[in-house]
Structure 1
Amino acid sequence: MQDRYAGDVGDFVKLGLLRAIAPGRTLGVAWYRYPDEDHNADGRHTDYLRDRNQKLAQLDPELFEHLNGVVRTARSIRSLLPVLGDARSSDEALDVVKVPVQRRRSWRASWFDRVMGDLEGCDLVFADPDNGLTDDDDRRKGRATFGKSMPISEALRLSEGRAAVIYHHNTRRAGGHDAEVDHWMSVLGAPCLAVRARAYNCRTFFIVNPDQRMEDDVRRFCDRWSILKVSLHTSR
């Protein structure tokens, strides 16, 4: 997650999902905050806020109005917190550019330990890496851009013994998006749902260890938000 993304259509969907499933739970957010980049147009999908017919606004009026204000003023991760109630937040930056390459693996491990400490006691956690899930190939871990990904080992540790929502930006993986989602569901292993959101860009929210109430909430969310091409994934 980068500050410059705050308030875009991806935030509208993910915050809407969290607001739909978090009531009655202690929510913690691991933002995976990465320094702002300027080499692409990511984060500029805010046209949804010019919703003349108010169809999108009615999905979650309070959230819609708040994000409208965020986009008009200073866009930042912290500006999103008010719509998440009493959620705990772990937003230490994943900026390893100045960390020597040989120390980046140990630095990342310590960073994640601090995230786990920040979210201790939460029974629902959300992880928001820029690019989503990746494998634990050690060759990746010395790269500065590894901060944009969440290795599967972190996802498994974060979701152990509690419900977790993991963001994933779909890629050009061989076999297409359906096969990609099936792959990560199988690797996550635990009971898992996948919410697909196809408006503007293709993204998936993996919901690990949901109880029956959460599963019902997720299904209602997908039905209500279908106008933004949100749907529950069906494995092939």
Structure 2
Amino acid sequence: MQDRYAGDVGDFVKLGLLRAISPGRKLGVAWYRYPDESHNGDGRHTGYLQDRDRKLAQLDPELFEHLKSVVRTERSIRSLLTVLGDAQSSDEPLDICSVPATRRRNWRAGWFERVMDDLNGCDLVFADPDNGMTDDDHRRQGRAKFGKQIPLSEALRLSEGRTAVIYHHNTRRAGGHDAEIDHWMSVIGAPCLAVRARAYNCRTFFIVNPDPRMAADVRQFCDRWAILKVSLHTGQHG
């Protein structure tokens, strides 16, 4: 997550999902905060806020109006927290670029342990890396772009003994997005739902260890938010 993304359509969906499934739970958010970049136009998908017929605003009026204000005034991670109630937040910058390459593996390990401490006591956690899931190949762990990813090992740690929602930005993996989602559900191994959101670009939310009530809440959310191309994955593991 980068501050410059705050308020775009991806935030509308992910915050809407969290608001739909978190009542009665202690929510914690691991922002995977990456320094703002300027080499591309990511984060520009705010046209949904025009919503002249109010169909999108009706999905979550409070959230919609808040994000309009965020885009107009302060686009930052901090500005998003107020719509998540008493959620615990872990937003230490994942500024791995500032760390010498030879020290990045150890630095990342220490950073993640601090995230785990920040989210202690939460029974629902959300991880929000820019690019989503990746494997644990040690060769990538010294690269700068590793700061934009969550390796499988961290996703599994976050979901131990609780529910975790893991953001993934779909890629050009061979076989297409259905096969990509099935792959990650398979390697996660635990009970898992996958919520797909395909408005503007393709993203998936892996919901690991959902209980029956949460599974029902997720299905209701997908039905209600279908106008933004939100759906429950129905592939091999759907």
TM-score by length of 1: 0.99
Q: 1:158-197 alignment to 2 at 5 Å?
A: 158-197=158-197
Q: Is it true that 1:34 corresponds to 2:14 in the alignment?
A: no
Equivalent position SS for 1:41: coil
The residue type equivalent to 1:101 in the other structure is A
Structure 2: distance between partners of 1:124 and 1:108:
23
Structure 2: distance between partners of 1:163 and 1:66:
26
Cα shift readout 1:124-162 (whole Å, capped 9, x = no counterpart): 000000000000011110011100000000000010110
Q: 1:41-190 alignment to 2 at 5 Å?
A: 41-190=41-190
Equivalent position SS for 2:204: strand
Structure 2: distance between partners of 1:125 and 1:97:
26
Structure 2: distance between partners of 1:231 and 1:100:
42
Equivalent position SS for 2:113: helix
Structure 2: distance between partners of 1:217 and 1:128:
20
The residue type equivalent to 2:177 in the other structure is H
Equivalent position SS for 2:194: strand
Shift of 1:100: 1.0
The residue type equivalent to 1:156 in the other structure is L
Please, which runs of 5 or more residues in structure 1 have no aligned partner?
none
Cα shift readout 1:78-101 (whole Å, capped 9, x = no counterpart): 100000000000000000222111
Equivalent position SS for 2:96: coil
Structure 2: distance between partners of 1:170 and 1:158:
21
Deviating beyond 4 angstroms after TM superposition, the runs of 4 or more aligned structure 1 residues are: none
Structure 1: distance between partners of 2:139 and 2:231:
35
CA RMSD of the aligned region, Å?
A: 0.5
Equivalent position SS for 2:55: coil
Structure 1: distance between partners of 2:221 and 2:148:
27
Structure 1: distance between partners of 2:6 and 2:129:
13
Identity %: 83
The residue type equivalent to 2:123 in the other structure is D
Cα shift readout 1:26-76 (whole Å, capped 9, x = no counterpart): 000000000000111100000000000000000000000000000001100
Structure 2: distance between partners of 1:98 and 1:64:
35
The residue type equivalent to 2:197 in the other structure is A
Structure 2: distance between partners of 1:121 and 1:129:
21
Structure 2: distance between partners of 1:223 and 1:142:
41
Structure 2: distance between partners of 1:221 and 1:88:
23
TM-score by length of 2: 0.99
